[in-house]
Structure 1
Amino acid sequence: MKAHGRGRTLISVAALGAVGIVVAGCSGGPGDTGGGASGGADDNVVTVYGTIADTEAELLEQSWADWEDENGIDIKYESSKEFEAQIAVRAQGGNAPDIAIFPQPGLMADMATRGYLKPAPEAVQKNVADGWTEDWANYATVDGTLYGAPLMASVKGWVWYSPSFFEEHGYEIPTDWQGLLDLTAQIQSDTDSPPWCIGFGSDAATGWPGTDWVEDIVLRQSGTDVYDKWVSNEIPFTDPAIKSAFDEFGKIALNPDYVNAGFGDIKSIVTTPFGDPATALVDGDCALHHQASFYDGFITDAGGTVAEDGDIWAFLLPPYEAGGSSSGAVVTGGGEIVAAFDDAESTQKVQEYLSSADWANSRVALGGVISANKGLDPANASSNILKEAISILQDDTTTFRFDASDLMPSAVGSGTFWKGMIDFVNGTDTDTVLQQIEAGWPSS
């Protein structure tokens, strides 16, 4: 899920609840929505609505500027921090955009199931087949129908650290989860300071960085089958496999000797904005931080260089057991899905371009982001860590799973799961937290 800028979308949990209320309470059907805001009225104008804001929005518009001129189509982009709530309101009221950039496949699927979205046109289907793995295509598919195409992506589960600090103390990159815990203990012993800095703060979306931790551990500890069944609630949050992941995370997050470097005690995790640890890393106030590939930009903004011989570099959270069960990397990640509310010719042309390798290379070359499109040249990425992330996504041996909370119904993934992570680090016992998260799962 993308944020305003480089992180997560800043969403109101109350607003997320409103999505279900508004859509469930529709008296009119999807046929009452009409087309997009301008797709049928002016074939030279295509409206696009999403969560990407500020500098990232400017780069997004720059990425398609030449294509607009060449094709005589004006793409009007609008961003909103309340996208999740407003997209449902606008669809119900007949004021949907022509195209939406969904930060959550689960929300896209919900809109498709309710009949608001148009199936992807043939040109988009071809681009998806040529440029994306079957897993990525599945995230845009509902009941066997492809509705959209992936856009940008991120690789999650990176542990950011200072190479010079590691070299000075003779630390090595751990090869399994226990090795990471041992490294944590060693750094604490050597420095008499907490090694980890963790920030859950994200305005109304506070708590999401904790879900990333749990997702990474579930995938590495229990494997893809458990992960997939957890996403669909065939395995509930109260299952021992999920509890074990929380407990493993707690070995770091609930240990007062291990957190929260530069910010305070364990409870400061919730109040620390998720971007602030970047400065603590660069300043040397903390040794380790867990965050996705987009954090490269936060570290650069904090004055650090991201390189193997730079101020900060990163390694992937190791497998639960050395060697693991796969020959390649095992990672979670995120991204967006582009889908349309109308099928006007101009809308379909924009969809086709945004699903192409040409667009992926155009946007990635502008810096700060990556894509999982197979036609993307990693050399276009703006940093070495982003180049490495692209290589991971393009590697056929990689085991990739989309961010679980983004695939779950919003009442859970962006509701009780986020709140549960806050309660967890604030001291609520694990069983109670898991029961409360699971209680948010829709009954139908």
Structure 2
Amino acid sequence: MMMRRSTLLTGCTALVLALGATACGGGEPVAAGGGDKSLDGRTVTVAGVWSGSEQENFQKVLDAFTAKTGAKTEFVSTGDNVSTVVGSKIEGGDAPDVVMVPQVGVLRQFAEAGWLQPLGADVEKNVDAGFAKVWKEYGSVDGTLYGLYFKAAHKSTVWYDPESLAQAGVEAPATWEEMLTAGHTVSDSGLTAFAVAGQDGWTLTDWFENVYLSQAGPEKYDALAAHELKWTDPSVVKALTTLGTLFKDKQLIAGGQKGALNTDFPGSVEKVFGPEPEAGMVYEGDFVAGVAKDQYQRTIGEDADFFPFPAVDGGPAPVVSGGDAAVVLKDGKQREAGLALVEYLATPEAAEVWAGAGGFLSPNKQVDPGAYADDVTRATAKSLVAAGDTVRFDMSDQAPAAFGGTKGTGEWKILQDFLRDPSDPKATAAALEQAAAKAYKG
């Protein structure tokens, strides 16, 4: 559905929204950056999936916005089903002003439903200056920018206990084959190589995406993500075959396939960094560090570290990312103040507030690396930014939720079945294609 470009960001409104600009008619300046409290009396409602420490840290960013503009903020945690919660609030006449959307597919769904306000020239200028082009593309629908990617995840990191690898005489591998060889060496030393969180199907999609991006390349990755390439393509079968070499090797997976299928994501981190370790390594995003630090008192960079997801079959090392995009709803009661908030989120200053608190990466290349709380997070952030336009967004998050984001069905369920029995990659590819065709058609 083609979206009609709004005219709200013209004339006086554009000036009101420009951080540091002077309001029309000789009034008081409206400036998040200038700290003139010109949005006093406004309350911006922000909805997002975050809770716990993530919500607390984001609140620090919102408080910084309040200190500059005078606009109060109210955060509403939606849980994982953002689209359902936001849809019901819109229908009930209680739409939030800003939503932090965690999936490209959901952002597109909101835009195609006509729910979103274009972010306008001021935000677009900040995005062009600070972000790789790919982040603008993921935030746009039909060439119009609707989403500002404020928080990113680096989902191409393998986390490990340095002592376990050192005792086995293993160094960080650079290739897939080296990683499997290193895994066997770790297992031979008495500790299983990998904890795999097979109970959570989303972790298995991340395994596949990293292998596929490195092995097949970004063009095919994009085509598969858009379902312009069928899942029965030989490149998919090849990636599944490669992944199957790990899944079928009981020496490499803590508890074997059955154990993996009974391990959720927090449990996989516990198996490496908990009080009774069962494995030396766990693959997942940079957010592993937060669990290791907060739950098991590991010091990041000392007794918890990472190496980049290794290159596969001579391809480049992959950089798969995820992220949360700030969007503004047309039906929000404080749409203009909401747009001002998003413009503030596009600045390095806003990102640096959360960077100092930890558990955060920004795709904004203008963020000072010194703002991050530790060297490992700093290195992860630099890797994400350095990848530039070669970064690819989590493929399952780009897909319709029925295929890429629903427990017990679609890609999650099919890859769990593949973990249980990886003997027939062609059959798995066929099942994935059948489910994708139905979901994309719907």
Q: State the TM-score, normalized to the length of structure 1.
A: 0.83
Amino acid at match of 1:157: S
- The equivalent of 2:346 in structure 1 is 355
Is 1:245 aligned to 2:245, yes or no? no
Give, in whole Å, the separation in 1 of the partners of 2:131 and 2:164. 39
Among 191, 194, 208, the residue aligned to 1:196? 194
Amino acid at match of 2:129: D
Root mean square deviation of aligned Cα = 2.2
Give, in whole Å, the separation in 1 of the partners of 2:277 and 2:370. 30
Give, in whole Å, the separation in 2 of the partners of 1:215 and 1:408. 13
Is 1:381 aligned to 2:372, yes or no? yes
Give, in whole Å, the separation in 2 of the partners of 1:43 and 1:83. 28
- The equivalent of 1:77 in structure 2 is 75
Question: Can you give the 5+ residue segments of structure 1 that lack an aligned partner in the other structure?
Answer: 1-28, 31-41
TM-superposition CA deviations, 1:238-292 (whole Å, max 9, x none): 22211221221221122222212xxx33122222120122222124421121011
Change (3 A) 1:207 1:396: closer
User: Alpha-carbon deviation of 1:398?
Assistant: 7.1
Deviates more, 1:393-402 or 1:355-364: 393-402
> Secondary structure of the residue that 1:278 maps to in structure 2?
helix
Give, in whole Å, the separation in 1 of the partners of 2:329 and 2:167. 56
Amino acid at match of 1:353: Y
Amino acid at match of 1:319: A
User: Alpha-carbon deviation of 1:48?
Assistant: 0.8
User: Alpha-carbon deviation of 1:216?
Assistant: 0.3
Give, in whole Å, the separation in 2 of the partners of 1:270 and 1:230. 26
User: Alpha-carbon deviation of 1:225?
Assistant: 1.0
Give, in whole Å, the separation in 1 of the partners of 2:388 and 2:138. 19
- The equivalent of 1:438 in structure 2 is 433
Among 307, 311, 326, the residue aligned to 1:319? 311
Give, in whole Å, the separation in 2 of the partners of 1:321 and 1:351. 41
Instruction: Map residues 162-173 of structure 1 onto 2, 5 A cutoff.
Output: 162-173=161-172
Give, in whole Å, the separation in 2 of the partners of 1:144 and 1:92. 27
Instruction: Map residues 101-140 of structure 1 onto 2, 5 A cutoff.
Output: 101-140=100-139
Contact residue 152 and residue 370 of structure 1 kept, 8 A: yes
User: Alpha-carbon deviation of 1:175?
Assistant: 2.1
Change (3 A) 1:110 1:132: same
User: Alpha-carbon deviation of 1:127?
Assistant: 1.5
Change (3 A) 1:383 1:265: same
Instruction: Map residues 413-432 of structure 1 onto 2, 5 A cutoff.
Output: 413-415=404-406, 416-427=410-421, 429-432=424-427
Change (3 A) 1:304 1:247: farther
Change (3 A) 1:304 1:398: farther
User: Alpha-carbon deviation of 1:214?
Assistant: 0.1
> Secondary structure of the residue that 1:258 maps to in structure 2?
coil
Give, in whole Å, the separation in 1 of the partners of 2:162 and 2:262. 28
User: Alpha-carbon deviation of 1:222?
Assistant: 0.8
User: Alpha-carbon deviation of 1:361?
Assistant: 0.7
- The equivalent of 2:284 in structure 1 is 291
Give, in whole Å, the separation in 2 of the partners of 1:165 and 1:194. 10
Amino acid at match of 1:89: S
- The equivalent of 1:3 in structure 2 is none
> Secondary structure of the residue that 2:117 maps to in structure 1?
coil
Contact residue 420 and residue 434 of structure 1 kept, 8 A: no
- The equivalent of 2:393 in structure 1 is 402
Larger radius of gyration: 2
Is 1:63 aligned to 2:54, yes or no? no
Give, in whole Å, the separation in 1 of the partners of 2:253 and 2:133. 39
User: Alpha-carbon deviation of 1:180?
Assistant: 1.3
Change (3 A) 1:96 1:436: farther
Contact residue 368 and residue 381 of structure 1 kept, 8 A: no
User: Alpha-carbon deviation of 1:168?
Assistant: 2.8
- The equivalent of 2:15 in structure 1 is none
> Secondary structure of the residue that 2:296 maps to in structure 1?
coil
Question: Can you give the 5+ residue segments of structure 2 that lack an aligned partner in the other structure?
Answer: 5-39
Give, in whole Å, the separation in 2 of the partners of 1:274 and 1:217. 19
- The equivalent of 1:219 in structure 2 is 213
Change (3 A) 1:84 1:419: farther
User: Alpha-carbon deviation of 1:306?
Assistant: 4.1
User: Alpha-carbon deviation of 1:170?
Assistant: 2.1
Contact residue 46 and residue 76 of structure 1 kept, 8 A: yes
> Secondary structure of the residue that 2:134 maps to in structure 1?
helix
Give, in whole Å, the separation in 2 of the partners of 1:421 and 1:404. 14
Contact residue 330 and residue 398 of structure 1 kept, 8 A: no
Amino acid at match of 1:374: K
> Secondary structure of the residue that 2:322 maps to in structure 1?
strand
Contact residue 168 and residue 185 of structure 2 kept, 8 A: no
- The equivalent of 1:411 in structure 2 is 402
Amino acid at match of 1:334: G
Give, in whole Å, the separation in 1 of the partners of 2:387 and 2:49. 30
Among 308, 324, 333, the residue aligned to 2:321? 333
Give, in whole Å, the separation in 1 of the partners of 2:57 and 2:238. 41
Give, in whole Å, the separation in 1 of the partners of 2:110 and 2:41. 24
Give, in whole Å, the separation in 2 of the partners of 1:175 and 1:396. 17
Q: State the TM-score, normalized to the length of structure 2.
A: 0.83
Contact residue 281 and residue 312 of structure 1 kept, 8 A: no
Change (3 A) 1:60 1:266: same
> Secondary structure of the residue that 2:195 maps to in structure 1?
coil
